[in-house]
Chains A and B, each alone.
Chain A
Amino acid sequence: AQKVTQAQTEISVVEKEDVTLDCVYETRDTTYYLFWYKQPPSGELVFLIRRNSFDEQNEISGRYSWNFQKSTSSFNFTITASQVVDSAVYFCALSVISSGSARQLTFGSGTQLTVLP
């Protein structure tokens, strides 16, 4: 079974601060994908980033960056120079590649990020 834990329930920062969202996952599968999704008040989940289990290289994409560490089963997400429009609930999710299974996503419980002006 898979599990994703987001220990931070709520985070508040002031605009232009950097913020890191934590994610810890559990799986026995050796091949898997990790994701971050954003859910603004409108409710629609928006895909942000994806990483596969074979690639621990950390990258930066615009104001987003992520830190994937298999040794600690963590996949943390950082927003640099936060903006008010970044305010949303952020979900970390896991998808495993098991034979015969659908590629459903296992989500964490989410972190509510509030960016104050």
Chain B
Amino acid sequence: GAGVSQSPRYKVAKRGQDVALRCDPISGHVSLFWYQQALGQGPEFLTYFQNEAQLDKSGLPSDRFFAERPEGSVSTLKIQRTQQEDSAVYLCASSMGPHNSYNEQFFGPGTRLTVL
């Protein structure tokens, strides 16, 4: 079946603009994660959803970052009033089970955000 998909693949924004990044997880996957990957670094956790519930948002760097998954499938990561330090690749991952079980996370190709 299809893997995790993300759109757009590339996004250029002017400083101060709002952006929305979309993630389509693997069908039926309960868990969905967002990560931020700065250039030359490993991904860092942003937030986690179990179905439509956002159970952990401890990694969101500021209140300008907001994520939702209203129907428990597609998720959107929104960044308001973008700043240059928001430039990074945003990765989405999904896994089959809830957080208290363990399954591998499958990653999408990422959205590369560049803030000018």
Contact = CB atoms under 8 A, between A and B. Distances in A.
A66 interface: no
Interface residues of B, number: 28
B102 A103 contact: yes
B75 to A, nearest CB: 14
Interface of B is mostly: strand
Interface of A is mostly: loop
Interface string B37-60: 000111111001010000110010
Interface of B: 31, 33, 35, 40-45, 48, 50, 55-56, 59, 89, 91, 93, 95, 99, 102, 104-110, 112
30 contacts: A4-B42, A43-B89, A43-B109, A43-B112, A44-B107, A44-B108, A44-B109, A45-B107, A46-B107, A47-B105, A50-B104, A93-B42, A97-B102, A101-B56, A101-B99, A102-B31, A102-B33, A102-B45, A102-B48, A102-B50, A102-B56, A102-B99, A103-B48, A105-B33, A105-B43, A105-B45, A105-B105, A107-B44, A109-B42, A110-B40
